[in-house]
Amino acid sequence: MEIAHVQDSGMSESATAELIKMEKEAVSLVHAMEKSMSKTICDYPLEVGEVVIMPAGAEVLSVYSQGKQIFLCALADPNQIKDHRTFDVYQHGKVVRDDDCLSFIGSVLLEGEKQASHVFEYIVPY
């Protein structure tokens, strides 16, 4: 890739070559950053009390069910390091302890069930 505006600028040949090299590196860096910043919507099957491994910083969007399976939907950058997050499912009417550090994600109705299941994430206080 030749950069015409630099070649016609009257700069020395070595300065022109160095500037072209720096511009190419900058373009490569921008492309790498765009790739690393792209996010994907991912689905994770969820079991009661399960630890889900997902990219760090993933944003949980929702939960949904297919048949008798609960899925967690998250917006994540697949290039990030992996993080372990713990989710739990409480059936309607189940006692939830006050001291649990829980964050409500959503509710689903599983096939054949009459009452909803409620999905929470355990939040680790820092």
pLDDT (tens digit, 9 = 90+) per residue, 83-116? 999 998 988 888 877 766 888 999 999 999 899 9
Same structural domain, 105 and 62: yes
Same structural domain, 28 and 44: no
Same structural domain, 50 and 79: yes
Residues 1-18 have a mean pLDDT of: 65
Same structural domain, 19 and 31: yes
Same structural domain, 89 and 102: yes
Position 7 scores a pLDDT of 54
* pTM metric for this prediction: 0.66
**Overall number of domains in the chain:** 2
Question: Could you report the per-residue pLDDT of 51-63, keeping only the tens digit for each?
Answer: 899 999 999 999 9
C-alpha torsion sign, points 82, 123, 87, 74: negative
Residues 27-33 have a mean pLDDT of: 67
| pLDDT over 90 (residue 2) | no
Position 1 scores a pLDDT of 43
Same structural domain, 44 and 29: no
Between strands 82-91 and 51-55, the pairing is antiparallel
Write down the mean pLDDT value for the chain.
83
Same structural domain, 81 and 98: yes
Same structural domain, 70 and 114: yes
Q: Give 107's contacts (C-beta < 8 A, 6+ positions apart).
A: 63, 116, 117, 118, 119
* Residue 69: closest CA among 118, 113, 111: 111
Share above pLDDT 90 across residues of the chain, in percent, rounded to a whole number: 44
Same structural domain, 72 and 91: yes
Q: Give residue 118's domain range.
A: 40-122
Q: Give 76's contacts (C-beta < 8 A, 6+ positions apart).
A: 39, 40, 42, 54, 55, 57, 58, 59
Same structural domain, 61 and 97: yes
Position 99 scores a pLDDT of 64
